[in-house]
Structure 1
Amino acid sequence: MNLNEKIRLIRRELGLTQSALAEKLGVTRASLGAYEEGRAAPSYQFLLSLADLAGTKVDDLLRESNRIKVARNETPGQIPLVPVRAAAGYQKGFPDDEYVSELPHISLPFLGKGNFRAFEIMGDSMLPLPSGSIVIGEKVERLSDLKDGRTYVLVTRNEGIVYKRVFNHIRDQGVLTLVSDNSKYKPYTVDPMEIHEAWAAKAYISQEFPMGSRHPDSYRDAMGSGG
């Protein structure tokens, strides 16, 4: 791992944007960006400050083959939330740490450690999940790791942000099949090249409680019979 890669890794491990880390270290965001991309060499003072912030040593930063373990707070952080009104902007802004940092955030400590993101899902295609629910997903780095029959939030080039049940046919057909839980919507295929991000559904938040499976009259009957 090269020095520029270590600088980028440390920033991300600390959960800081380029602007935030640059301010802490007394440099401009442009300079930090140049260090991360390997277009400029940081000063020794910068490396001292960075090593101190990361709880490591300058020697560890300078050894090309050495990986960095950042000493950081292990408390689960807040999760960026992509509301419906921000969905269009997210399709373009998702690679930008600054953009993501400005999104609303929610805290769900029970999820533990991981790279999570929350998405507001509208529509009835995934009923019984109510429209307006917030689905929390964990980042899937490789589309080949998508599991058949699991649900994912997909950030796509042409379809926007969709929440679907996925069947992985990349190896044999070169496509993913997306299926809605609501049977009135037909399955369709998508080219993996159209997908920017995939997030495996881990939890959801809704202001609507699930309906009981019994007819309301059956509850009255049960109460009347004392059962």
Structure 2
Amino acid sequence: MDQFLFHWAGNLRFLRQRKSLTRQQLSDATGIKISRLAAQETGKTRNPKMEDQVRISTYYNISIDHLIRTDLTTLTDEQVYELETAGPLDITGKHIRVLPITVNSNNEENMEFIPLKAQAGYTQGFNDPEFIAALPKFTLPGLPREKTIRMFPVSGDSMLPIADGSHIIAQYVDDWSLIKKDVPCVVVLKEDGIVFKLVDNTMKMDGTLRLHSLNPLFEPFRVNASEVLEIWKFIGYVSKEMPVAIAS
């Protein structure tokens, strides 16, 4: 039983630090006094109250059995996330959609342009072949013909010097796990529609993507992978405005 209690103490420290929580924050969230949390984390409390076990288990969404019997520090981020969500973590995004494409008379894949007026409808029609077929088509020299390419509108000034009214040319990301850190992408979200941001892939840690802007006035934010419909990697942009000059 001592081995089991050792895992409880180590797991409490590991989970709190994994979520970058202070003991005060964990105390506020669970209703367990800081002194009791400290005693359990250090192993001074050899028999944690069942009430505390239930509260910790509920907060982290991990069974008491795993908290006591499994050394969570030996697991990968994906395995811990699977325990938290009671299901496998899909970090590729391949389970949610089939990408509809259209081809031209030469059997080459078309490049679709999503005009601003079609932006709102894209989140409903992104996987509808008829909707995609009705979108305007475009061509530009130098783009890879063997890839799926689309052009998306940019609204607002969060990605300055890429100005409001620009259009982002982007390549479809088939496997989200290939996205690493600070990758400029068009992300299509269920609720927020089309956004253009720098993407940090933290799905292995907590099932989210961290999205942030080039413009430092805008705060970064996280979205759950379940909210993401599509991801398109930036390869260029079209704008009627000159980029903002950098002050010397």
Maintained 8 Å contact 2:161/2:244: no
Match of 1:81 among 104, 113, 118: 113
- What do the CA deviations read for 1:7-65 (whole angstroms, capped 9, x no partner)? xxxx96x727xxxxxxxxxxxxxxxxxxxxxxxxxxxxxxxxxxxxxxxxxxxxxxxxx
**TM value normalised by structure 1:** 0.60
Distance in 2 of aligned mates of 1:121 and 1:213: 21
The gaps in structure 2 that reach 5 residues or longer are 1-99
What code does the residue aligned with 1:137 have? A
Distance in 2 of aligned mates of 1:78 and 1:169: 32
Match of 1:92 among 124, 136, 144: 124
Maintained 8 Å contact 1:151/1:201: yes
The gaps in structure 1 that reach 5 residues or longer are 1-10, 17-71, 216-227
Match of 1:204 among 237, 241, 244: 237
SS in 1 for 2:214: coil
User: How many pairs were matched up?
Assistant: 149
What is the aligned partner in structure 2 of residue 15 from structure 1? 103
Maintained 8 Å contact 1:149/1:165: yes
- What do the CA deviations read for 1:66-107 (whole angstroms, capped 9, x no partner)? xxxxxx948x65411111211111110111121111111211
Distance in 1 of aligned mates of 2:210 and 2:190: 16
**TM value normalised by structure 2:** 0.55
SS in 2 for 1:106: coil
Does 126-135 or 204-213 show the bigger shift?
Answer: 204-213
Match status 1:120 vs 2:153: yes
Maintained 8 Å contact 2:165/2:239: yes
Percentage identity across paired residues of the two chains: 34
Match status 1:181 vs 2:214: yes
TM-aligned CA distance change 1:104 to 1:167, over 3 Å: same
- What do the CA deviations read for 1:114-169 (whole angstroms, capped 9, x no partner)? 10110011100000101110001100012222221110001100111000000011
Structure 1 vs Structure 2 CA RMSD:
2.3
Maintained 8 Å contact 1:79/1:108: no
TM-aligned CA distance change 1:211 to 1:188, over 3 Å: closer
TM-aligned CA distance change 1:126 to 1:212, over 3 Å: closer
What code does the residue aligned with 1:15 have? V
What is the aligned partner in structure 2 of residue 32 from structure 1? none
Maintained 8 Å contact 2:111/2:150: yes
Distance in 2 of aligned mates of 1:119 and 1:205: 10
What is the aligned partner in structure 2 of residue 155 from structure 1? 188
